[in-house]
Structure 1
Amino acid sequence: MELTLTTPGLLFPALSLLLLAYTNRFLSLASLIRGLKDRYATTHSHLVYGQIQNLRTRLVLIRNMQAFGIASLFGCVLCMFVLFAGYNTIGKYVFGFSLILLMISLGLALREIQISVNALTLELNDLEGAEEQQK
C-alpha cells in the first residue's frame, strides 16, 4: 500500500469536527452539572445525586474521548512529518497507530452515548412514576 502525505491529511477535517462535537458534549454536560448541583443543594434528592454520579462517569469518558482524539490528530501530523522526511515504513506504522487511537476515541464515544441514554431512560421512568402517583 502506498501512503502519501495526503492520506493522513484527509483525516484532519474529520478529526476537527469530531473534536468539536466532543467539546460541545463537554460544554453541555458542564452546564447540566452546574444546574444539578444547585438543584441538589436545595432538594437533596437521591435521584439528583445519582444523576450527578452518572455525569461524573460521562465527564471522564468525554475527557478520554478528547485525549484519544487529540492523540490521533497528533499521530496524523507526526505521520505526515515522517513521510515528508522519507521514512515510508515508519509513516505507515504511525498512521496505523493514529487510526487505532481514533477507534478507541470512537469506542469511548459510543460508551458515553449508551450511558447518556440510560440516564435519560431513568429520568423518563421517574417522570412516568410521578405521573402515575398523581393519578
Structure 2
Amino acid sequence: MEITLTTPALLFPALSLLLLAFTNRFMALAKLIRDLKHIYQNTQSHLIYGQIQNLRTRLLLIRNMQAFGIASMFSCVLCMFMIYAGWQTTGKIVFGLGLVLLMVSMVLSLWEIQISVKALELELSDLEHKDDLTPSAALT
C-alpha cells in the first residue's frame, strides 16, 4: 500500500471534530462538578457525593480520550514528515500507530458514554419510583 502526504492529512478534520467534542464534554462536566460541589458543601448529601465520584471517573476518561486523540494527531503529523523525508516504511508504521491511537480514543469515548447513560438511567428510575407513590397511581 502506498501512502502519500495527503493520506494522514485526511484524518485532520475528523480528529479536530473529535477533539472539539471531547473538549465540550469536558467543559460541561467541569461545570456540573463545580455546581454539585457547591451543593454538596451546603447539604453533605451522600447522593451528591456519589454523583461527583461518577463524574470524576468520567473526567479521567475524557482526559485520556483527549490524550489519545492528540497522540493520534501527532502521529499523523509525524507520518507526514517521515513520508516527506522519504521514509515510507516508517511512515506507514507511524500512520498505523496513529489509527490505533484514534481507535483507543473512540473506545474510551464509548465507555464514557455508557457510564453517562447508566447515571441518567438511575436518575430516571428514581423519578419513576416517585411516580409509583403518587395517589393517582394507587387508584389504578
In the superposition, the TM-score normalised over structure 1's length comes to 0.96
Structure 2 Cα separation of the partners of residues 41 and 129 of structure 1: 27
- Give the deviation of 1:43 after TM superposition: 1.9
Residues 43/130 of structure 1: CA separation in 2 closer, same or farther (3 Å cut)? farther
**RMSD of aligned alpha carbons:** 1.0
Query: Structure 1: which 5+ runs fail to align?
Result: none
Runs of 4 or more, structure 1, over 4 Å off, are none
Structure 2 Cα separation of the partners of residues 86 and 68 of structure 1: 26
Residues 60/105 of structure 1: CA separation in 2 closer, same or farther (3 Å cut)? same
Structure 1 Cα separation of the partners of residues 109 and 119 of structure 2: 15
Question: Paired residue for 1:31?
Answer: 31
SS at match of 1:4: coil
Structure 1 Cα separation of the partners of residues 34 and 53 of structure 2: 13
2:131 pairs with 1:131: yes
Question: Paired residue for 1:115?
Answer: 115
**1:2-48 CA deviation, whole Å, 9 max, x = no partner?**
10000000000100000000000000000110111111122222211
Structure number with greater Rg is 2
Q: Percent of aligned pairs with the same residue?
A: 70
Question: Paired residue for 2:42?
Answer: 42
Letter in 2 for 1:46: H
More divergent stretch after superposition (39-48 vs 117-126): 39-48
Structure 1 Cα separation of the partners of residues 127 and 35 of structure 2: 18
Residues 130/40 of structure 1: CA separation in 2 closer, same or farther (3 Å cut)? farther
Structure 2 Cα separation of the partners of residues 133 and 37 of structure 1: 30
Structure 1 Cα separation of the partners of residues 42 and 127 of structure 2: 19
Question: Paired residue for 1:14?
Answer: 14
Letter in 2 for 1:108: L
